[in-house]
Structure 1
Amino acid sequence: MQLDSLFKKIRADIETYEVDLRSCSDKELLEISNRMELALALPEMKRIKEYFSKQGRNPTDIELQALGQAWSEHCCYKSSKVPLKKYVFNVDESRIIAREDAGVMEFDKDHYYCVALESHNHPSAIEPYGGAATGVGGIVRDVLCMGAQPIAYIDPLFFGPLDYPLEKLPKGVKHPRYLFKGVVDGIRDYGNRIGIPTLAGQVYFHEGYTGNCLVNVGCVGIMEKKELIHSWAKAPGNVYIYVGG
């Protein structure tokens, strides 16, 4: 079957397509994932196909793009959360108060502390200043959303060698020296400008990070226990105001 025949345009004002997932073979499911740059493996595509088959309809291309983003490593840490949970986050469960926009832990009898971690690897590899700055902004937002006051940053960073030969640089990859300066400037300009110090970090250089730098940022906040805000609706009739994007 020609792949184009699986896409049926369903709106004229916005170019939207119904994707005939229900009739796809395994090979075609993978071809659709690759063509749409969903980065979803065959088991994931088959799960989507199964869901929409039960719904009695096919997904739109917009729905598939939304699933591709929601199931990405960046959004749900689908491959890294298993080793992270096993080797890094082996904490006393009784001290965990919340796992929402950020993690909230018991500090003392009157206070909680709040921690948010985020990676902005690919955005920083494309535009290092903006990618790193918005990574910092995201974790500040997450800590604030829980009702805490941000007090400190951490930033473990991983790049290719700063003296990496230009002639060896893969096509489309920016030089580590350019990425390094942009990332450091982005973290500095967002974090320091709002008065939150970077208290700890790490910088590591290795050829393996030339193609995609790792930009990890973390924020720690503190709050009185009475200030904790949960990110769910407690009762019918609650009013939520969403500002910004």
Structure 2
Amino acid sequence: MAALPLLLALAGPLIAPHTIDTPVTAPFATPGDGAVLGGDQLGRDVLSRVLHGGPLLIAGALLVAVVITVAATLIGIAAVLRPVLGRAVERSADVAILLPPLLGIMLIALAWPGGGRWAVIAAAIILGTPYAVRVVAAAASPLATAGYVESALARGESTPYIALREILPNLRATLLTLFGLRFVEAFYVISMAGFLQIGPQPPASDWSLMVRENAPGILLNPWAVIAPSLAIAVLAISANLATPSLTPDTTAKAVARS
């Protein structure tokens, strides 16, 4: 059930009654026949713009979650198997985590050529990877001293073999949970950047950008602000609720086997 809002957001452009840039009513018009949720500051259909705003936001958050999870997996496992690299990674991650997220996003997004959505995605990846690396390394550390890993080392197996065949399968629950959490965090980061106007620019149908643009007319047509705000909240909560379903129920499986 928690995945239904995600599916609806992805299918939004297919069911939107109007395009995102076509005025259909007066600016900040109240809900009526021409616009179910009224108009925005330029008279565009609020409902259509909300329905168009989901896919790009979800795609951006998904890209961030995938890249961070893959990078953290490779670096975290390598850091555990190579102590010298592990110490360097740990020190670098500690320094990166100390950087305030909002300041880091602004610095990276403003320095990125052209700025926009890709700048925010890059900032979210750069700032989210150090913490994820620490999580993966902490989960993989006990596995590196397990008997089956020591047996593989005694057989002369290579580091890639040990990482992919011995350690990675035992990190499945951790990595799936990490992926879900990174997706929700990326969703918030991209939304926050849009509200600060350091991400997508007008006339993009970005939900957080819609909140900022239509805030001056909230008393004329509250739905111009409420609708995109509710979309952000519902989608973030739905993704957060759907995250536990990605994690294998290891306890239930152990009970079943016993």
Q: Which has the higher strand share?
A: 1
Q: Greater relative contact order: 1 or 2 (C-alpha under 8 angstroms, separation 6 or more)? A: 2
TM-score by length of structure 2 reads 0.23
